[in-house]
């Protein structure tokens, strides 16, 4: 099951994330997921914090492997080795894989170099999708060094001499160079997405955002879909326990209404939430390191939610962001 992007390439609609995975576990996880049926791998660095935490969003999606490179998480090489082995042993072909990575905030002025750096570590000749991670450029700290430098006041050191339009045109160059098949954006709101559509020669194929039952962002999702931009949910389960521990947020997986729907279908709450995302025509990329969860996630393609249950879930949107809260670490609220 896949979504056809606005350039004709197909992108699997469901994925598995390997964010927070230890290096030694990544290879086995990827190999096992391919054997289960996954073909879409997403392993993208979310963001890192100077002198504090390092976050990396690594998601794997099926049917075509889509990979987001976790540069700051220091596991790009391990991911590359796993894919290389899978291809060499005949487990999967490169043509079956859909691999994605992101441009980090410090590399807006070095787009081509950053892309080539990721390709080298991943042992690939091209990427299926390359995304602008955040709509912000910060002080360059070296190719592949995905830190978040702060200024003398402890605030994110934002660059003001590189526009998002300049960054986007550099992304377009990657397509003409044959390094990337599709390009897209991440964490863009309606206004920034509209601007990108206006100045782009190659329209963004994807906008990857946080969206889940508690943070549905229906207006943004519909705007993107209306203009031919596929929406990917990088936090389709609301971050679950990991975000509860890190940010103190509430997980939708504990919602009693969702639990009731799960009992009705004899599925887990996570399966219900993922299926809801798929039936919204959004790509979902949940993260797990557990074998049983891999199999459960893959099985969401085997059932459908009735319209009445889709409507119930849509009705309890709380406009509640659970995942990306840079203000806690960057000294600035980018969502204000």
145-193: pLDDT as tens digits: 878 899 988 899 999 999 999 999 999 999 999 999 999 999 999 999 9
CA 282 vs CA 14, 206, 207, 225: distances in Å: 9, 10, 10, 9
Burial of residue 226, with CB atoms counted within 10 A of its CB: 0-12 exposed, 13-18 middle, 19 or more buried? exposed
Three-class DSSP category at 316: coil
- Check whether 133 is labelled as a binding-site residue: yes
Return the higher-pLDDT residue of 235 and 299: 299
> How far is Cα 127 from Cα 180, in angstroms, rounded to an integer?
5
pLDDT above 60 for 4: yes
Matching CATH number, 2-49+72-330, of 3.60.130.10, 3.40.630.40, 3.20.20.70, 3.20.20.100: 3.20.20.100
| pLDDT tens digits for range 108-157 | 999 999 999 999 998 999 999 999 999 999 999 999 887 889 998 889 99
Q: What's the token pair of residue 49?
A: 């914090």
The two structure tokens encoding residue 279: 């039936």
pLDDT given at position 324 = 56
Output the six-digit token pair for 87: 């291809």
- Parallel, antiparallel, or unpaired: how do β-strands 15-17 and 54-61 relate? antiparallel
- pLDDT higher than threshold 80 for residue 5: yes
Q: Please list, residue by residue across 3-38, b when 16 or more beta carbons sit within 10 angstroms of its beta carbon and e when fewer do.
A: bebbeebebbbbbbbbbebeeeebbebbbebbeeeb
Quote the tokens at residue 330: 């960057």
Provide the pairing of β-strand 127-132 with 66-67: unpaired
Chain-wide mean pLDDT for the chain?
Answer: 86
Tell me if residue 335 is catalytic.
Answer: no
What pLDDT is stored for residue 21 in this prediction? 66
67-104 residue pLDDT tens:
444 444 456 778 889 999 999 999 999 999 988 889 99
CA dist., res. 77 & res. 83, Å (int): 10
Residue keyed to tokens 């390009």? 183
DSSP string spanning 215-252?
Answer: B--HHHHHHHHHTT-EEEESSTTTTHHHHHHHH-PPPG
Q: What is the pLDDT, as a whole number, of residue 18?
A: 64
Reported as a pLDDT band with limits 50, 70 and 90, residue 252 is very high
Name the DSSP class of 7. Answer: T
Domain boundaries of the chain, sorted by first residue: 2-49+72-330
Calpha distance 187→49 (Å, rounded): 18
What phi, psi does 86 have (nearest 5°)? -65, -40
- pLDDT tens digits, residue range 260-290? 999 999 999 999 999 999 999 999 998 888 8
pLDDT at 210 over 50: yes
Out of 73, 130, 188, 214, the active site residue is 73
Contact 50, 139 (CB under 8 A): no
Q: Is the pLDDT of residue 298 over 80?
A: yes
Statement: residue 55 has pLDDT above 60: no
């Amino acid at each position: 099951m896949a979504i056809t992007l606005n350039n004709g390439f197909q992108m699997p609609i469901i994925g598995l994330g390997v964010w927070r995975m230890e290096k030694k576990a990544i290879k086995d996880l990827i190999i096992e997921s391919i054997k289960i049926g996954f073909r879409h791998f997403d392993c993208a660095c979310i963001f890192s914090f100077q002198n504090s935490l390092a976050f990396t969003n690594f998601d794997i999606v099926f049917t075509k492997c889509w990979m987001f490179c976790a540069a700051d998480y220091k596991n790009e090489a391990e991911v590359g080795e796993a894919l290389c082995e899978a291809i060499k042993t005949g487990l999967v072909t490169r043509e079956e894989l859909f691999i994605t990575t992101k441009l980090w905030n410090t590399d807006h002025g070095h787009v081509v170099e950053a892309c080539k750096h990721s390709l080298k570590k991943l042992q690939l000749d091209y990427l299926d999708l390359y995304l602008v991670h955040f709509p912000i450029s910060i002080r360059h700290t070296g190719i592949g060094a995905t830190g978040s430098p702060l200024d003398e006041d402890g605030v994110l050191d934002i660059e003001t001499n590189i526009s998002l339009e300049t960054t986007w045109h550099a992304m377009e160059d990657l397509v003409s160079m044959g390094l990337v098949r599709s390009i897209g954006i991440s964490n863009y709101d309606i206004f920034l997405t509209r601007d990108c559509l206006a100045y782009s020669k190659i329209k963004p194929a994807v906008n990857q955002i946080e969206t889940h039952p508690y943070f549905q962002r229906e207006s943004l999702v519909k705007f993107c879909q209306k203009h031919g931009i596929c929406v990917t949910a990088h936090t389709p389960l609301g971050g679950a326990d990991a975000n509860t521990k890190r940010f103190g947020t509430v997980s939708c997986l504990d919602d009693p209404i969702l639990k009731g729907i799960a009992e009705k279908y004899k599925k887990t709450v996570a399966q219900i939430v993922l299926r809801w995302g798929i039936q919204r025509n959004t790509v979902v990329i949940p993260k797990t390191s557990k074998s049983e969860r891999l199999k459960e996630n893959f099985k969401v393609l085997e059932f459908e939610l009735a319209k009445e249950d889709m409507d119930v879930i849509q009705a309890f949107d709380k406009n509640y962001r659970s995942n990306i809260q840079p203000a806690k670490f960057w000294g600035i609220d980018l969502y204000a």
